[in-house]
Amino acid sequence: MVTRGRGDAVTGAGLRAAREIAAAVPDPELPMMTLADLGILRRVTAEDGHVVVTITPTYSGCPALAEIAHDVRHRLAQAGFAGVIVRTELAPAWSSGQITAEGREKLRAAGIAPPGEGPRAGGGPGDPVPLTLTMARREPVACPRCGSLDTERTAAFGPTACTALFRCGTCREPFEHVKDV
Amino acid sequence: MTEDDDFAAYQSLSEETEDHRWAFGTGFSDPLEGIDTSVPDGVDAAALAAYCLMLGDDALIYSHRLQQWVTRMPELEEETALANIALDLLGQARMLLSRAGRAEGAGRDEDRLAFFRTEGEFRNVRLVEPADADFAELAGRLLIFSAWRLALFGELAGSADPVLAAIAGKGVKELTYHRDYAAQWVIRLGDGTALSHARMQAALEVIWPLFGELFRTDAVVARLPGVAADPARLRPEVDGVLEAVLAAATLDRPEGAPMAAVAGESGRDGVHTEALGYVLAELQSVARAHPDATW
């Protein structure tokens, strides 16, 4: 195996290969999703002959971030990229609107209702965030199994930081929904 | 996706690594790793460190209080909710303490700041210290805390310190969700049965003496123009939120007097309630018993 990295320039083709590998790393908590699907891979660049992978956390306390960074380094090392640097970037903050169309399809196929397409509706920059005083939602969440819109939220938080729990009134199945943030 | 992908995160744990991980989510590294944490020109670094410590301590202590509810909640759904909220706040605390340590420049990292300071060195507001006596107190305190912190972080998202602005901008999304969760419970309890209404009202009366302290202007804030947010300016937004929630919940705004400061000093000055010592005794015990441990 050719060891790329330390000392050598990372070529354009090498960088493209590195980007593909990083983009395909699965999320440890939603393994059907890649970093690219989730929208948490910000960029892959080269610095002083090293590949630099920049990722952003979904939530401030997300315990998966350290696992993701390790996995990115591990997979790139296996492909011959030595000394890969993984950086975190906080701004602009991740929003569920950054999940790709392909990512939404994968979630649905796995029985998880994807979030809405855009960021949560709110005021302009600097305006106070509007309060939501009821459990009712502006747009209903479609059941990922039967498509019914007759669904209700059973819990505001789910098994991972990014999901909430719902139940379908038509097929009666419970399901997870990736929260709109 | 290959079968390998499913287990990659777990397989890599069993390999020899340099980061001493022993389980999923362990092997903590600096939460601001790779982020430019140089202090912008013209910003008072010591004041920035002190300010980030205040905001980090608020989240750290409150996160610990919320974690103490885990295994004590009546329903799994609410327990999951509280654990998630506590995790978000812990994430905020880690970044803020790390920011404080870097700005201070004395080599103290997040763990050093969290586990090896005494009560008098903590700078959190006193609101986050007492243990909640019941679920109504939990909902009321969470509503007040998250409404206040959301207003604060909304201002800080435009801070002249880009690191603080980024931490706050991220926190706004989390706190919005926390505030809605708490508000919905306050309304369900307040506008519920006679018993739940009475207990929710009583809970607000208990918490209220610690409300006023949230808006006290601090000397550290005055040293950070454009970087920190003046707490007094947050009051109208927080009052507006509470007014809307209390009206929907058919609850009265308490009128109790604020808890007195001690010789003019309170939480931000390191003067705390008795409760903080008990929180720290639990929070710091493992780190102090095993100072060389990693996690």
Query: For residue range B148-164, what is the model confidence (pLDDT) as tens digits?
Result: 999 999 999 999 999 99
Is there a contact between A157 and B179 if contact means CB atoms under 8 Å apart? no
Is there a contact between B35 and A90 if contact means CB atoms under 8 Å apart? yes
Residue B223: other Cβ atoms inside 10 A: 16
Is there a contact between A131 and B151 if contact means CB atoms under 8 Å apart? no
Q: A104: phi > 0 → left, psi -120 to 50 → alpha, else beta; which?
A: alpha
Residues 119-148 of B with CB under 8 A from A: none
Is there a contact between A61 and B9 if contact means CB atoms under 8 Å apart? no
pLDDT tens for B209-232 read 999 999 998 899 999 999 999 999
Total count of domains within chain B = 1
Give yes or no for a contact between A78 and A178, defined as CB atoms under 8 angstroms apart: no
Closest CA to A51 of A8, A16, A83, A3: A83
Looking at chain A, the domain(s) classified CATH 3.30.300.130 span: 12-88
Using 50, 70 and 90 to split pLDDT, how confident is the model at B1? very low
Q: Which of A4-13, A32-41, A135-144, B82-91 is least confident?
A: A4-13
How far does CA B56 lie from the centroid of its chain? Answer: 7
What does the block give as tokens for B152? 């604060």
- Amino acid identity of residue B112, one-letter, is R
Residue A163: other Cβ atoms inside 10 A: 22
**For B170, which of A60, A67, A157 is closest by C-beta distance?**
A60
> How far away is chain B from the Cα of A126, in angstroms, using its nearest Cα?
7
Q: What is the mean pLDDT of residues B198-214?
A: 97
Select from B7, B170, B181, B242 the residue whose CB has the most chain A CBs within 10 Å, as the one to mutate to test that interface. Answer: B170
Burial of B42 (0-12, 13-18, 19+ CB in 10 A): exposed
Looking at every residue in chain A, the average pLDDT score rounds to: 86
Q: Domain range holding B69?
A: 41-289
pLDDT tens for A43-56 read 999 998 899 999 99
Looking at every residue in chain B, the average pLDDT score rounds to: 91
Using 50, 70 and 90 to split pLDDT, how confident is the model at B202? very high
Q: What is the mean pLDDT of residues A54-65?
A: 86
Is there a contact between A70 and B17 if contact means CB atoms under 8 Å apart? yes
Query: In the predicted model, is pLDDT for residue A139 greater than 80?
Result: no
- Give domain status of residue B267, yes or no: yes
pLDDT of residue A5: 47
Is there a contact between A131 and B241 if contact means CB atoms under 8 Å apart? yes
**Cβ-proximal residues to B287 (8 Å cutoff; 6+ apart), any chain:** B111, B114, B115, B116, B293
Is there a contact between B87 and A161 if contact means CB atoms under 8 Å apart? yes
Residues 218-257 of B with CB under 8 A from A: 237, 240-241, 244-245, 248
Is there a contact between A133 and B183 if contact means CB atoms under 8 Å apart? yes
Residues 44-63 of B with CB under 8 A from A: none
Give yes or no for a contact between A98 and B44, defined as CB atoms under 8 angstroms apart: no
Domain CATH for B256:
1.20.1260.10
- Give domain status of residue B36, yes or no: no
Give yes or no for a contact between B140 and B130, defined as CB atoms under 8 angstroms apart: no
Select from A25, A89, A129, A162 the residue whose CB has the most chain B CBs within 10 Å, as the one to mutate to test that interface. Answer: A129
CA dihedral B34, B35, B41, B46 (to 10 degrees): -100
> How far away is chain A from the Cα of B289, in angstroms, using its nearest Cα?
25
Shortest CA distance from B5: residue in chain A: A26
Establish if B177 touches chain A: CB-CB under 8 angstroms.
yes
Is there a contact between A161 and B88 if contact means CB atoms under 8 Å apart? yes
Coil, strand, or helix at residue A175?
strand
**Cβ-proximal residues to B271 (8 Å cutoff; 6+ apart), any chain:** B120, B261, B262, B265
Establish if B90 touches chain A: CB-CB under 8 angstroms.
yes
Select from B16, B110, B177, B237 the residue whose CB has the most chain A CBs within 10 Å, as the one to mutate to test that interface. Answer: B177
Is there a contact between B162 and A181 if contact means CB atoms under 8 Å apart? no
Q: What is the mean pLDDT of residues A126-146?
A: 79
Give the helix ranges, DSSP H, for chain B: 3-11, 45-67, 76-104, 110-115, 135-156, 162-190, 194-207, 219-222, 235-248, 275-289
pLDDT tens for B234-245 read 999 999 999 999
- Give domain status of residue B195, yes or no: yes
Is there a contact between A66 and B21 if contact means CB atoms under 8 Å apart? yes
Residues in chain B closer than 8 A to A181 (CB atoms): 173-174, 176-177
- Spatial separation of the C-alpha atoms in residues B101 and B98, rounded to whole Å: 5
| Residue recorded with tokens 């202090």 | B39
A12-88 CATH fold: GMP Synthetase; Chain A, domain 3 (3.30.300)
What does the block give as tokens for B33? 């790793």
- Give domain status of residue B76, yes or no: yes
DSSP states of B20-79 = ---STT-S---TTTTS--PPPTT--HHHHHHHHHHHHHHHHHHHHHHHTTTT--SSHHHH
- Spatial separation of the C-alpha atoms in residues A31 and A26, rounded to whole Å: 5
State whether ipTM is beyond 0.90: no
Shortest CA distance from A165: residue in chain B: B77
Give yes or no for a contact between A9 and A73, defined as CB atoms under 8 angstroms apart: no
Is there a contact between A93 and B166 if contact means CB atoms under 8 Å apart? yes
Give yes or no for a contact between A41 and A55, defined as CB atoms under 8 angstroms apart: yes
> How far away is chain A from the Cα of B262, in angstroms, using its nearest Cα?
33
How far does chain A reach from its first CA to its final CA, in angstroms? 43
pLDDT tens for A154-174 read 888 888 888 899 999 999 999
Residues in chain A closer than 8 A to B88 (CB atoms): 59-61, 161
How far does chain B reach from its first CA to its final CA, in angstroms? 31
**What is the SS3 string spanning A138-170?**
CCCCCCCCCCCCCEEEEECCCCCCCEEEEEECC
pLDDT tens for A31-47 read 999 999 999 999 999 99
**For B180, which of A54, A95, A131 is closest by C-beta distance?**
A131
